[in-house]
Amino acid sequence: MELRDVLARRRMTRSFDATPVDQDWLDECCAEALRAPTAGHSAGVRLYSVGATHVSEYLRVATDATWRETSPRAAGLARAGGVVLVTSRPGDYLARYAEADKVRAGLDERESWPVPYWHADAAMATMALLLLVEDAGWQSTIWGSFRHATDILRWAGIAADEELFASVLIGRADGRDTPSRSLQRHVPSRRERVRRVP
C-alpha cells in the first residue's frame, strides 16, 4: 500500500471489537517504529507493549471510576486488543548533548532546550507506530494519560527517569465509534496550512 493511502485512511479509532493483538507482532511494530529519528541519535524513546489480557487492568489505572461509568467511549476502548506505552528519557538527551561533539550547543541542561526534543522524538515514533498499525489493517488511537501518568508508569514497572508521552490503543474497529466533537470545529484546510516563504 502507498504511504499516501495509509495517511489518508488513518483515523483515531475509539471503539474496538475485542480481537486480541498478537503481542509478538506488536513488539515487531514497536521496534520498526523506533526507526523514527531522535535528536543527536540519543535513542531516548521507549515503547512498552501491553497484551490483550491486561488491557482492562491498564484502563483501571489510566482512568477513574467516574469516567468509566459515564464516558460513551469507555466500553469501546476497553475492547482494545493491545496497548503500547510511549515514554521518553530526557536524561538520555542531556547526557548526549554533554558529549564532546554536542556540548557547544549548550543543551546539556533541561531548561536550555527551547523545544524539548524528547517529546518531539516520542511523537515521531508514535506517528510511525500509527502508520505501521494502519498499514497492517488494524486501527488505533492515541490516549493522552495526562492525569494518571505516574500511576501508569508505576503499574508498568517503568523506571522513574522515564516520562509517559502517550498510550496507543490498538485493535480492530467495530464500527461503533463515537465521533469526536472536535471534528465539528471549522479549521483551515490542509492546503491552507501550507505556506511558502519568499
pLDDT tens track for 72-131: 999 999 999 999 999 999 999 999 999 999 999 999 999 999 999 999 999 999 999 999
Q: Does position 182 have pLDDT exceeding 90, yes or no?
A: no
In a domain, 179, yes or no: yes
The reply to whether 10 falls in a domain is yes
- Cell numbers given for 130: 500509527
Task: Report residue 1's pLDDT band, with 50, 70 and 90 as the boundaries.
Answer: low
Residue 53, in any domain of the structure = yes
* CATH number of the domain within which 130 lies: 3.40.109.10
- Report the number of distinct structural domains present in the chain: 1
| Domain span holding position 18 | 3-193
Identify the band that residue 180 occupies on the pLDDT scale cut at 50, 70 and 90: confident
Q: How far is CA 135 from CA 7, 86, 104, in A?
A: 9, 20, 41
Contact call for residues 68 and 74 (beta carbons, < 8 A)? yes
* HEC string for 40-77: HHCCCEEEEEECHHHHHHHHHHHCCHHHHHHCCCHHHH
Question: What's residue 146's pLDDT?
Answer: 82
Answer yes or no: is 90 within a domain. yes
Using alpha carbons, select from 86, 71, 68 the residue that is nearest to residue 141.
86
**pLDDT recorded at residue 183:** 76
> Quick check: 177 pLDDT over 90?
no
Query: DSSP secondary-structure letter at 22?
Result: P
Kindly state whether residue 198 falls inside one of the protein's structural domains. Answer: no
Whether 13 contacts 173, CB under 8 Å: yes
Q: What is the mean pLDDT of residues 155-167?
A: 96
